[in-house]
Amino acid sequence: MSPVWTKEYINGYGLVYAKGQYANYVITMATIGIQFFMNSYALIVFFETPRERRQGRVLYLISGWLIFAFYTMGASSDMAKIF
C-alpha cells in the first residue's frame, strides 16, 4: 500500500491552509476598518452634540476605542506571526 501523505497531498494541504489564513486576514482587516469608521463617526457625533447631552457617553467612547486598539494589536501580532 502506498502512503497517504504523498508530496502532492502535503503541498495541496499547505496551499489550502495558506488560502484559509489569507481569507481570515482579509476579513480581519475589513473588520478593523469597520470598527475604525464606527469609532471615528461616534467621536465626531459626540463632539457635535451639545455639552448637556454628552453626559454618560464618554465611557462608551473610551471602551469602544479600547476594544478597537486591543483587537487591532491582536490582529497585527497574528498577521506578523505568519511571516
pLDDT at residue 1 is higher than 70: no
Domains in the chain: boundaries: 7-82
Distance CA 75, CA 80 (A): 9
Structure-block grid coordinates of residue 15: 496551499
Q: What is the SS3 assignment for 24-76?
A: HHHHHHHHHHHHHHHHHHHHHHHHHCCHHHHCCCHHHHHHHHHHHHHHHHHHH
Contact between 61 and 42 (Cβ < 8 Å):
yes
Distance CA 77, CA 32 (A): 14
Q: What is the pLDDT of residues 8-58, one digit of tens each?
A: 888 898 899 999 999 999 999 999 999 999 999 999 999 999 999 999 899
